[in-house]
Amino acid sequence: MLPRNPIARDTAELPSSSSPSSSAKTRPSSRKHKPSKENDPPSDHNIIVPYSPSHVKSKSPLPPRPPSSNPLKRKLALDTIAAENSLPATTDSGVKVIVRMRPLRKDKDEGDPIVQKISGDSLSINGRTFTFDSVADVEATQLDIFEHVGVPLVENCLAGFNSSVFAYGQTGSGKTYTMWGPANSLAEENVAKEQQGLTPRVFERLFARIKEEQTKHSDQQLNYQCNCSFLEIYNEQVTDLLDPSQRNLQIREDVKSGVYVENLTENQVSTMEDVTQ
């Protein structure tokens, strides 16, 4: 029985000696063997072939993108390049944790405060130190919080980044006051300007900045479209507050739109009056 390997088969047909009485003859094959793994000789596992990057055929890289005119995007691009090259650089995860300390209420809170601000980004609770991105003490006003959180939020939004504020804390810690101000904060005639929370101030700043950009680039005819929605998530159920009949809405994700709430009401707004209606 001849071996399956064609190279071994040709070798087996060769005469074992040069005797003239041998009748075995070899004829050159006119068929060309195509290179394949089947025709390759068995590899020797004791031989180590050194790896060279030149052996790998890589695609030609795309032409470099022009530098962005936006300073925020340019900063993120430089940070990404520095990280890839293992260079020391300031990393920005895009998420900042800011703590606001609520003052004690004389009619309800008793005892001495256990939280002490140590520096601009750290505080102490019962002798233990915790560090955050920023710490606002009890003397911080609504305007201070807006300038520290709301102004960068609007600028990032205009630069093309998704921006959001998530208020977290126990009941009575001041979440609603920080985000909205007093209960009647949306009605300007019923609340002092200095008591307005983060949300109405952000809306005012956003519309003012849009107007500035349109005036500054009037020759480019910039168009901004703002859509407003209002929802509540309670007991893992999403309710449309602009249309309370829409309950138990589903959160979806799309390649183009990103994360969104299906069938959520959206109203187009262009002024602060549109938002407060």
Which residues are known binding-site members for ATP? Answer: 169-176
* Residues 187, 277: Cα–Cα separation, whole Å: 10
Beta-carbon contacts of 22 under 8 Å, excluding residues fewer than 6 positions away, are: 15
Residues that constitute the known binding site: 169-176
Rounded CA-CA distance 17/3 in Å is: 21
Which of 237, 248, 107 is closest to 172 using CA atoms?
107
**What would the two tokens of residue 97 be?**
């944790």
- Integer Cα distance of 174 and 167 in angstroms: 9
Residue 48 token pair: 């180590």
The amino acid at residue 111 is G
